[in-house]
């Protein structure tokens, strides 16, 4: 492979690494938003269950309403937990792709740089 071709492929790999790193960052940010929403839903479930336990003996109808609402929020939390896992995994894989692309660029360009230094001397 010629030196010029190595350089162009190296530049393309650097560009790919930058794009993948940017996508990874955005995906991590979205995953963190989902995690924050998940934490809020878990807190809400805990609050509702505590309130339901407080009125269990005095108001059975209110207890059932609160328990039902807690179950609903628990379902939302389960869906958000799955979404968080998917986004986090995607972000990690995009980051790994960016790292691999950058490593490939270095593998291609280091011999070309060393060769050009030898020619100058």
Q: What is the pLDDT of residues 11-25, one digit of tens each?
A: 899 999 999 999 999
Contacts of 56 (CB under 8 A, 6+ apart): 63
pLDDT of residue 116: 60
The predicted model scores a pTM of 0.76
Q: Tell me: the pLDDT tens digits for 39-86?
A: 999 999 999 999 999 988 898 999 999 999 999 999 999 999 999 999
């Amino acid at each position: 492979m010629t030196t010029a071709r190595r350089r162009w492929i190296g530049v393309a790999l650097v560009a790919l690494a930058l794009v993948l790193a940017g996508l990874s960052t955005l995906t991590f940010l979205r995953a963190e938003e989902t995690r924050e929403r998940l934490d809020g839903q878990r807190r809400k479930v805990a609050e509702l269950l505590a309130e339901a336990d407080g009125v269990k003996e005095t108001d059975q109808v209110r207890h059932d309403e609160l328990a039902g609402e807690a179950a609903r929020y628990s379902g939302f939390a389960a869906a958000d937990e799955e979404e968080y896992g998917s986004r986090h995994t995607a972000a990690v894989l995009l980051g790994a792709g960016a790292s691999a692309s950058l490593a490939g660029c270095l593998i291609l360009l280091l011999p070309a740089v060393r060769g050009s230094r030898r020619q100058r001397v």
